[in-house]
Chain A
Amino acid sequence: MIQKIFLLNLLLYGLMYAGPEEQRILQKIDNYRIPYKQFLIRTRLTAYEGNKIKESALFDAYIKGDDKSLVIEKEGKNKDMKILYVDEKMWVQLSGSRRPIRITPMQRLMGQASNGDVAKVGFFADYSVESLDTVKLEDVICYKLLLQAKRKSSTYNKIILYVLKENCQPIRAEFFLISGKHFKTAEYAKYGFFQNKLLLKKMIIYDELRPDCKTTFEYTLIREKELPLRYYNKNHLIHVRGL
């Protein structure tokens, strides 16, 4: 279950980054992941151990602004599990349970669910740019941004992000815990069009602590979708139907 939670977090991590030029770059980066103020993003998540598929699941995430999201597992081991994020707070409602459970940040870091935080990271809202350099990464000219979390409670204290200089498309990101440990690396592998918008389509997360483990996120559907505000209230989780 915890692993799933992790993955879910990933869904939400987008791209929000921060100084006038740096801010503009961060916003451009965000536009590849956050196309609307409120939207639905459907994600196929596959976790690998070596070359073997360890776990596969399908999630629908309903995003509302910078701070709210509701994630529902549609297929997988914890089918019908719902996860609610409001700011830094997180609740989980397991299938069959009648009460949402409050989750600690550490629980989010365990298992595959930790990938969720990588996927979710809101760069613009949650991070400020410490430095901006132009570097060459695999013969491609990129911006290298060092991002620092604005809040102490952020799962990742520091992120090194590489984006194409010409259009600010993210290529790679390295995520560091508050202890300084390099925890995850994200490769932004594929972009595609969703309703005429060029958006991120596939992301691969590498686990730096377990080099043989990786998780892919494939975004199969991204469209504008508004849910009433009550869906983002933890007491409403047990009533959610038909999504």
Chain B
Amino acid sequence: MNNRKVILVFLFLIPGMLWSEKWRFFTLYKNYYTCFRESWFNPENRAVTALGYTSGPHGSLFQHMSLQTEVLSLQWQLDLLGSLKYENNKWDKTIDIKQFYCQKDLSSKLLLMTGRAILRWGTGYAFNPTDVVAPDKRLNDPENREKLARGNDLVKLEYFGGSFSFAFCYLTTINMESSFSKWESRLAFRFYQNLYGIDISLIGCLDKEESPIWGCNFSAVIGDRLEVHGELSAQKGSYTCYHKTVQQDSRLFYENPLSDFRRNENNYYYRCLSGFQYTFSKNIFWIAEYYHQDQGYSSDEWESLMDQQKYVQSRLNPPYEESAEVNLLWSLNIFSAKGAMKDYLLNYIQICVNRNLELKSTCLLNLGDFSYVFIPELNIQIGNHFTFYERNYIFQGKRKTEFGEFFQSFSLEIGIQVK
């Protein structure tokens, strides 16, 4: 974004702040250090360099601003995120509209919402097979910090009864974390009912480009300490992008190696999640989730993909061998954001040591090859406005495993949040 646009945004913001009924700032400054893994597919880190990543320390500053106001009985919300990063010896600044929507009460039971908004319909913590309206989550960051997410453009009409609600949602863009943004029309609907204390939602999604998705989810509390939740979705054909080398008649390498070639299959692909949250005494919480997706690679497919890449690397001369490596790394980056394989297990533990100190630990285990991402985190609250945090991402696994081959092996993030 050029300087003139930045200035224009600020000129718009100042009157916006004066005009709005409620506004809030949230600043995040973080330093991070990333180590890239040298592997069969990334010798000397050359493919990582080719993808434009640089190792070593980086700093970035995020500024989130949220404005709320009411004009002509329309309730408005604007969420902006500005970022300033120093990478590759240059400054990179962006300003992004994360949410910008208005809502209006059409009656005491009917609500209309339109604009760019982040909606969440799932009940899961790290996985949401039924969340057809939400931006995609990154599996290697299960918390998927919502302040950094970007909403979808949509119109939503929701009817609220006593213990039920019915929502229709029309979406025009779906933004995916994998950087594949799709422009499409999608109609999603949800029927929610609280039945015998259980939150139950039935969800459907009609898409111009894809076959319909049908799903349901639930959440319930059992006894004093246990919350259970689950989600299930089904879709005819798979619209996941696979590396083309999985196909029988594949070539050695491709300019664009990804393809959703299973989209026209007649069999149904299921995604399901089951999980629970348990509250121990002394402020300790434990969340565990099992996630299965039919769309993921089988162990055999994964192995063949790895073998083929290794073969390509051994046969080709520069510069082609680098292309093959980049293809694979790029694919891994995309797959691992959404889960490349079929079965995962998440464990999350949060310990509130006292009012100001919080420890968290997240572990995402790939049950196909037992590779894992381990994310320990420390939060220290300083006064009412500052929070210091430290977070690691540790990718572990043997060679040929998903997280073992992930190009990032370790990263350390240290930051401070100001509210």
Contact = CB atoms under 8 A, between A and B. Distances in A.
Q: Which of B26, B119, B285, B355 has the most CB of A within 10 A?
A: B355
Contact of A228 (B21, B109, B164): B109
Interface string B90-116: 000000000000010000110101000
Interface string A79-106: 0000000111100000011110011111
Contacts, number: 96
Contacts of A88: 197
Given A104-B277, A230-B108, A235 B160 contact: yes
B221 A105 contact: yes
Shortest beta-carbon contacts, A-B, top 4:
A230-B160, A99-B120, A106-B279, A228-B108
8 contacts: A89-B221, A98-B118, A103-B221, A230-B111, A233-B160, A235-B192, A239-B103, A242-B75
Nearest to A228: B108
Nearest to A95: B24
A230 B75 CA distance: 16
Question: How many interface residues does chain B have, given as a range?
Answer: 35 or more
B227 to A, nearest CB: 5
A234 B283 contact: no
Contacts of A98: 118-120, 134, 146
A104 B75 contact: no
B179 interface: no
A128 interface: no
A101 B326 CA distance: 41
A191 to B, nearest CB: 32
Given A98-B119, A102-B221, A235-B165, A2 B197 contact: no
A37 interface: no
- Secondary structure at chain A's binding surface: helix, strand, loop or mixed? mixed
Interface string A27-62: 000000000000000000000000000110000000
Given A96-B147, A229-B162, A239-B113, 5 more contacts: A3-B355, A103-B221, A234-B194, A235-B165, A241-B68
Contacts of B147: 96
Interface in A100-118: 102-107, 110-111
A86 B194 contact: yes
B158 interface: yes
Contacts of B134: 98
Contacts of B248: none
Interface band, chain A? 20 to 34
B181 interface: no
B70 to A, nearest CB: 6
Contacts of A89: 194, 197, 221
Interface in A211-243: 228-230, 232-236, 238-239, 241-242
B255 interface: no
B226 interface: yes
A97 B163 contact: no
B167 interface: yes
A77 interface: yes
A107 B225 CA distance: 7
Interface string B191-220: 010100101000000000000000000011
Nearest to B103: A239
A106 B225 contact: yes
